[in-house]
Amino acid sequence: MSMTIWLRAELKENEYRSPLTPNDAAVLLSDGYRVVVERSNQRIFQDKEYSDVGCMLANQNSWHSANKDTVILGIKELPDDTRPLKHQHIYFGHAYKQQAGWEHIIGRFKRHGGTLLDLEYLTNENGRRLAAFGYWAGYAGTAIALKIWLGRQIEGQKFILQPQTPYSSKEHLIDELTSGFKKLEASNAPKTIVIGALGRCGQGASVLLEEFDIPVVKWDIAETQQGAPFKQLLNFDILINTVLLGSPIPPFLTRELIKSKTRTLSVISDISCDPDSSGNPLPIYNQATTFTEPTIRLVENGNPLDITAIDHLPSLLPRESSTEFSNQLLPALQRINKWSGEWQRCAKAYDTHSEKININQV
């Protein structure tokens, strides 16, 4: 019997992305896989697009009834309930850096014999991730920052960014930003810095800024080795943080620093967005923001400072980000029945962290 890959529906609000496009599902079908797709009203691709290429449709959130050998594919977190996790689940688990609830997440798998194949740890032999949303996260997170900054310039310091909804295409987002910049003087552009500029995420951020001819200062490892915190960050209008979190490092900014009366900085986009991690280089906030409430006001006092830190930014541009990610992931999915090296490494990461968990204590 052929292996089944089950694409589950995402239950997170405003999560329109898919890790597998209809076109790439068709490739898996031609390779002999059985592909089941849960119905979804919010996925950027319609159910019919999957059924038209030969996928079997299933009811939303019915993956738990699948045969134990079925591989369950998703993006964001699973429902936090008591159902046994007996399958191999591919998604971003956010549980290996001791984030909030990590023991509970891994414990659910360990208790019932399942495996978390965390997409963040699906790597080649050199440790580079095979599939990532980083470019579009950087692009979208920078767009949100520009929207906040533009709103301040046009409507004044009391401006608060309203709830955001995904765009059907990148062009619609560009049109909206272009309209905002047309309301400003030609020379009025935000002084912007991108930290982590050499990575995928930083590249996406830089590309959008350069599309609008916005001067951008680019920092990466070399520039941040001089020792933090960095008071000079207060001299920029917009700070874009795209640093890939690893071991804890000194904070780029502190709560005390951002209270400076001479601060120019008015917008921070923390695209890395890991406020629960001990490695967070921006420990000036303690919770992620959302599309519904995209900002947190860190400082008021007549000189506002807002931070935006949405943990599923690429969903702002779900079609572009899904297409690129699915294309990157497809070769690995084509090899999953052979349990090739990348999947072995991914499973080893789970084994390493599950050994830390005593299921009788979680």
For 12-66, how does the pLDDT look when each residue is reduced to its tens digit (9 = 90+)?
888 999 999 999 999 999 999 999 999 999 999 999 999 999 999 999 999 999 9
| Domains in the chain with CATH codes | 4-121+319-354 (3.40.50.720), 134-316 (3.40.50.720)
Global pTM? 0.88
Return the residue matching tokens 């090739």.
340
151-180, pLDDT tens digit by residue?
999 999 899 999 999 999 999 999 999 999
Catalytic residue among 12, 64, 76, 97: 76
Q: Could you give the 3-state DSSP secondary structure of residue 50?
A: helix
Q: Which residues contact 175 (CB under 8 A, 6 or more apart)?
A: none
Is 361's pLDDT higher than 70?
Answer: no
CA distance 180 to 168: 19
CA distance 117 to 357: 17
CA distance 197 to 325: 20
Burial 295-317 (b: 16+ CB within 10 A, else e): bbebbeeeebbbbbbbbbbbbbb
Q: Which residues contact 183 (CB under 8 A, 6 or more apart)?
A: 150, 153, 154
Asked if 141 and 207 touch (Cβ cutoff 8 Å), the reply is no
At 104, the pLDDT band (50, 70, 90 cuts) reads confident
172 a catalytic residue: no
Q: Which residues contact 3 (CB under 8 A, 6 or more apart)?
A: 33, 34, 69, 71, 336, 337
CA distance 267 to 307: 6
Is 358's pLDDT higher than 60?
Answer: yes
Catalytic residue among 86, 87, 89, 94: 94
Q: Cα-flanking dihedrals φ and ψ of residue 5, to 5°?
A: -110, 120
Is 224's pLDDT higher than 80?
Answer: yes
Q: Which residues contact 319 (CB under 8 A, 6 or more apart)?
A: 44, 168, 169
pLDDT at site 159: 94
Q: Could you give the 3-state DSSP secondary structure of residue 34?
A: strand
pLDDT at site 360: 62
94 a catalytic residue: yes
CA distance 130 to 122: 6
